[in-house]
Amino acid sequence: MLELMPLWMFLVVCLIILLGYPVAFSLAGTALIFAAIGSAFGVFDFAFLQALPNRLFGTMVNNTLVAVPLFIFMGVMLEKSKLAEDLLDSMAIVFSEVRGGLGISVVIVGMLLAASTGIVGATVVTMGLMSLPTMLKRGYSPALAAGTICATGTLGQIIPPSIALVLLGDILSSAYAQAQMGMGIFTPKTVSVGDLFIGALVPGLILVALYCLYIFGFAWMKPDQAPISKEQESVSVNQLLQSLVPPLALMIAVLGSILAGIATPTEAAGVGAMGATLLALARRQFSLARLREVMETTVLVTSMVFMILIGAAIFSLVFRGFGGEEMVTSFFTGMPGGLFGATLTVMLLIFVLGFILDFIEITFVVVPIVGPVLLAMGADPVWLGIMIAVNLQTSFLTPPFGFALFYLRGVAPKEVLTGDIYRGVVPFIVIQVLLLAMLAMWPALATWLPTQLHH
């Protein structure tokens, strides 16, 4: 019973989060209660918690994590400056004569918005409020409209510069160093957030292309459920450029500076935050009241992320103190199928946990536990990071608990039934599982571009 303390601790924290308690305090509180029980029975040494101040100080001075509030600021500022609305209107007119054109426009705009915000909830809600009424008015089936918006909203997980990849990159770099130290390599190779950004580009674009192909194919087979727009509006080249160039320029400035090695992800996030503010100024959408609103949202989201990080630090220290790390290592190394079997088990675990935990909790709680083991078994850190990101994206879409479905349900009109949303996301889940299979078969989809740029 006592030797299974790490497992009980993990199950109890999942249960408490399911009951609706704040995640950060659930993690820290559960860990401290278990530490007290373990100490009383003589199976836990409180000396483990003496490492906590160093852990927290390490978080405070971590330069990579400075990118988090900056990317959040950039995303919120772009959302408030109505940039996405203009872009969607223009793209919808450009694709108006293509079957499923409005759906394809939603995917492309969602991709640009995902690259700007990197926050799943923000993208799903924004796209839901903005494009769902338009799609329904144009005669799209509620299932296709809802499925497209949910799937597009989750692109924020994989399309860089995603906050999920910033946090994953930071955790994986520590896990990679730890795995190499454990193998007796004292000059460890490093993996950075920039590597993950570069590695996510090809899988992200493949996913967007597969979404567009599916919508086009669906519209071809069932034209009554994705009709071509009857109102033939026109958009001038100038109008199109005015709505398309600013977000593209910002993406190129942020991603281009990282890819070219001119800036670190944190410096690029600063460029993005400043660029978004200048765009809002240029569009006359900027005021001190709006700036205050953007800053308040940024502080709220950032505080949530860092409180969870502190809770997760306490949780992982107590987990380690109970010998949880050794338990996980022996479980995975003794598993049939070697690295493949271990990776498949971890992917299934993360998929299931994606129903009850947000990507931040999974990144901070699960990845530090399983990451070092898989990396020591020979998994490539960039490939593993992209697999985890795509997997989380899939679990956010899966009924009945997927986060994206809840976000859309909150803003969808009454005529869109919950069943429509569930039915609509199924084909997109199949597409994402297909991408996971492609990544498993051809890891080079994630690793080729980073190795080319490092040469």
Provide the token pair at 309: 């990080």
In a domain, 39, yes or no: no
Radius of gyration of the chain, Cα coordinates, nearest whole angstrom: 22
Angle at which helices 120-137 and 101-117 pack, to 10 degrees?
A: 160
In a domain, 41, yes or no: no
Provide the token pair at 84: 């996405």
Contact 269, 66 (CB under 8 A): yes
Provide the token pair at 226: 């994705």
State the pLDDT at residue 340: 85
Q: Write out pLDDT tens, residues 344-376.
A: 888 888 887 777 677 777 888 788 888 888 888
d(CA 288, CA 284): 12
Lowest mean pLDDT among 36-50, 130-144, 231-245, 272-286: 231-245
Better-scored residue on pLDDT, 82 or 254: 254
Provide the token pair at 337: 């199928």
State the pLDDT at residue 430: 92
Mean pLDDT of 387-392: 89
d(CA 18, CA 13): 9
d(CA 425, CA 397): 7
Domain count, the chain: 1
Amino acid at 244: L
Range of the domain at 62: 51-310+332-454
State the pLDDT at residue 454: 65
Provide the token pair at 430: 């199949």
In a domain, 186, yes or no: yes
Contact 117, 68 (CB under 8 A): no
d(CA 386, CA 436): 9
State the pLDDT at residue 169: 85
State the pLDDT at residue 79: 74
In a domain, 12, yes or no: no
Amino acid at 131: S
**388 Cβ neighbours under 8 A, 6+ residues apart:** 168, 347, 350, 362, 363, 367
In a domain, 5, yes or no: no
In a domain, 20, yes or no: no
Contact 321, 48 (CB under 8 A): yes
In a domain, 323, yes or no: no
Q: Write out pLDDT tens, residues 156-172.
A: 778 887 778 888 888 88
Question: pLDDT-derived band of residue 92, with 50, 70 and 90 as boundaries?
Answer: confident
In a domain, 257, yes or no: yes
Whether 232 shows a pLDDT value over 60: the answer reads no
Q: In sequence order, what DSSP letters do the residues of 101-142 get, joined into one string?
A: HHHHHHHHHHHHHHHHH--HHHHHHHHHHHHHHHHHHTT--H
Question: pLDDT-derived band of residue 120, with 50, 70 and 90 as boundaries?
Answer: low
Lowest mean pLDDT among 120-129, 206-215, 382-391: 120-129
